[in-house]
Structure 1
Amino acid sequence: MERRTFLRGAVIGGSAAALGGTLWRGAAYADPAQPGAGPYGALGPADANGIRLPQGFSSRMIARSGEKVTGTDYTWHNAPDGGACYADGEGWIYVSNSEISPGGGAGAVKFSAAGAVTGAYRILADTRVNCAGGKTPWNTWLSCEEVDRGYVYETDPWGVDAAVRRDAMGRFKHEAAAADPVRKTIYLTEDVSDGCFYRFTPTTWGDLSAGRLEVLTETTKGKGKNKTTVIGWAEVPDPSGASGSTRTQVRTAKHFSGGEGCHYADDTCWFTTKGDNRVWQYNAGPGTLELAYDASQVNGTAPLTGVDNITGSASGDLFVAEDGGNMEICLITPDEVVAPFLRITGQSNSEITGPAFSPDGTRLYFSSQRGTSGSSSGGITYEVTGPFRG
């Protein structure tokens, strides 16, 4: 995927290497995606589920909180949140967190190759406020607790192996995770107003029992027009948070306004911050940082607000869910156009969570966390099918 080159004229000689980071100028920090016509056209009228979709797309309800998933004995959990899909040789599995406390945890729905629901079950229980998370390359689900000194739990989407708490990944208000198989590390967001962006590099790739937790850092050099900023990484001395919060242990840590969703593809990790309605782009190869979207820099009315969970399609489109806003999933195309993809009507007291594509890219799963009731017990999980571009 080709996007803006964040270092336009910013590197000064070889000083970036000497300082252990990459230099950029603040002036290069201002070319985010702008509103335009989306690749799928305008939204049509609301369908029977109250969802407005482009022509050629359709929706169906998969599950409701407090009710048994059709054809199964599993009662769908309250407040469905972050999710991911897994191929299983016969069809696929959609995993979904539960953002409640006590209880929390995560559940899963299993589908046949034709898309029929064939099972549903619990994969994690007795945890707290499981918000988002992330999929690993070895097909486990990282379920993250969004509480102070929360944990990451590694779970089995098939529900066979017991979940394992991964203490080495740090104790903080976890939000989302995204695996980078090239650098063999996992990026993590933190949902507080001065949160940080982390990466966890396991001692052995595929084994999260031990490793190094680092935080993204930012230092400056020079003044005025000659001012440059160095982006780097520093190890968190005490990942347990016992001696102080992880976000305050490194003096040069860069802080973000409420870290939310996190998605990796093509040497890039995108993550969102809800406090300032931004989508950030960390370019893992050169180690640079830029803005893919900033609501405050949009020409006209911002189509995307309340930025939250994020995922991507095979075409390179980013799909960003709104927490509030006007209950849309918006997409950001590789050519930097942002446009609504769908809108849920009649559920203004909810938020959209857990967007994830089926392995073949033809179905998009997501939830309205509080549904029409505005309560965590009113969650609804949907599937959208249609001609997604590959």
Structure 2
Amino acid sequence: MIDNNQLLRFTTAGSVDDGKSTLIGRLLYDSKSIFEDQLKSIENTSQKKGFEGIDLALFTDGLRDEREQGITIDVAYRYFTTLKRKFIIADTPGHIQYTRNMVTGASTANAAIILIDARHGVIEQTKRHAFIASLLQISHVIVCINKMDLVDFSENVFNTISNQFESFCSKMLIKDVRFIPISALLGDNVVNRSENMTWYQGAPLLHTLETLHISSDINKVDARFPVQTVLRPQSETHRDYRGYAGRIASGVFRTGDEITVMPSGFLSKIKSIDTFEGALEEAFAPMSVAITLEDDIDISRGDMIVRSNNKPEASQDIEVMLCWLHNKPAKPRAKYTIKHTSNEQKAMIQEVIYKIDIHTLERKSEDDTLCMNDILKVKIRTTKPLMVDSYRDNRTTGSIILIDDATNETVAAGMIV
């Protein structure tokens, strides 16, 4: 029964010391998802650190530096299962210099848990993480107002912070926002209902996660097949075989479909769709297949096979909402490598259209600097056309990353608008 459970990916975000790692530790501990040897190791480490009980944050803070400093540095992924659902958790750091890691952790999430310290309310990092969740089009945002035990489990404090967040997020496109008062340290409203907050009539966090409706973020309409490699077997039985291998980004392909190869524009029909297990009549995202065509066409890595009646935009000039990830600012008109599906090109940031003021969500067109954690709308020019859709329509063909050619470091992640 558990094997057939639906999978929910969720990320946690919040400011420093809001209790993200403690919350996940509490989820794992109270749902009995901890192995005995792991629990014993955490108990021993907690005793060495002088804790009377268990330091729940140690269940996720696995790096030595994290344990020594008591902070989360890297994105920590954890897996657990209940009778109703399987989960993958991405625990992201709270320090502002690690905001870029939140973009990484949230990029594949179905839901986001944003923690707020009940003593501090909505602060800059709260707004930043909410805005990133909105940019990445995460369907469900669960706002956990933590450390309610430090404000005497006050309903007024909970309502005030909820109203603050609702007022801010009304300017953004988030479909579903829920508020839960919790104490991760004591376990109130995490797995079990709190006896200290009887005024809260909603469900605890785990029950909320188990019952969230998960809608697929895969575009089922626009057929997109980025070619990763060309298969030319040298065996006697497959000497004339030419297959184009890759992973279907979106939509459905069937044998006999009329297709266009982009950016060349050559036309053909699908002859066969092959997998390791055998040929298929149809294939859909996110399956990995090899497609053969009825015509011999020059196709290479980075090209895209699409249905002829439904083509993406092929352009060398694209507008992107960019999150700058690197600790060094961008150099004026510097050249980067842009990665989009299986396509790699040289690119240059031509223009900063505007920068987002994270406090007010206002657009600042007079500031054209790109510094760490900045969120901006930019215009990028590439050496050859990219076959793109908007991120709103297609997460796979609507996202890019920029890489510094000198250091080979990823400096930015972007969503095509």
TM range (shorter): under 0.3
TM-score, normalising length from structure 2?
A: 0.24
Q: Which has the larger share of helix?
A: 2
Q: Which has the larger share of strand?
A: 1
Higher relative contact order (CA 8 A, sep 6+): 1
